[in-house]
Structure 1
Amino acid sequence: MAEDWTLPWAGGCRCGRLRFRVEAPPLLTMACHCRGCQQMTGSAFSLSVAVPEAGFSVTSGEPVIGGLHGAHRHFFCDHCKSWVFTRPDGLGDFVNIRATLLDDATWVVPFVETQTAEALPWALTPAPHSFERWPPMEEFPAFIEAFAREGARPR
């Protein structure tokens, strides 16, 4: 249902030196409540929009790897240190953008929330799919298909 999306979108870090562009419809919106995401965001959870890697590009600035420097590469602005996106290792060809760094993030509602066992008790979201840990990876194609039909859209 790519016709449902008004693209492209732009976004960037807090200082504006690192900018990106999205030219493909998102696969999924998610909130992760794990302690690592809480620590990296300084908030109750990490809110992200997964987009196909082929539909994502950095248009200005040079991202640097931050976070734990592990298999899941977390990219930050070198100047303001904003966590901008993640390229998860071994989970497919997508990029997880920090949703609130889109120029217009008002439409983003998590479709899936994970790691609720670590959630702050007051911080659960209206996501229709909620898991104490990570759902099995084989379930994600069904979530992506359902999000294409039912997920929130920009107004």
Structure 2
Amino acid sequence: MQTFAKDGAALSASIVVRDADEAVLARIEANASTTLERAETRFSGIRGSLDKETSALVEARIFRIRELIGNFRDTRGKGSEKEKIQQALKDAATLDAFLEAQAKFRGRVLLPAPEIEMFGDEGESEDGNDGRGGGDITIPVPASLPL
């Protein structure tokens, strides 16, 4: 009889934990969805001021985030759902921040983030310098950039 009582308590404790996890996942999903909606609204407002390549990249990112949210909904209760929805939220927040910055700097040039490789292979610049010293680092500054 004592074993049954312990098993019953363990079962109810696991149900409480699962319910709490479900609530957290539901909040993350809601945040990801609303953040994506906000990013889409920002994008529609500045789409005309972006070049075709940037617009295509933003559209692809929006599609990918929607896909992550959809996959989360389809696989709810199976495996790595938490990682999927957390990635969707992270991607939506990153996209939203990028679009917000684009809107604020409309008409001016935003420089790429330092970790973005501009010339292909990592650690190698346009002039063939591998970044290990011995060469000058040159960052082109557009004439329209306010100083």
Query: TM-score, normalised on structure 2?
Result: 0.21
- Taking structure 1 as the reference length, what is the TM-score of the superposition? 0.20
Larger radius of gyration: 2
Q: Which has the higher strand share?
A: 1
Which has a greater percent of helix? 2
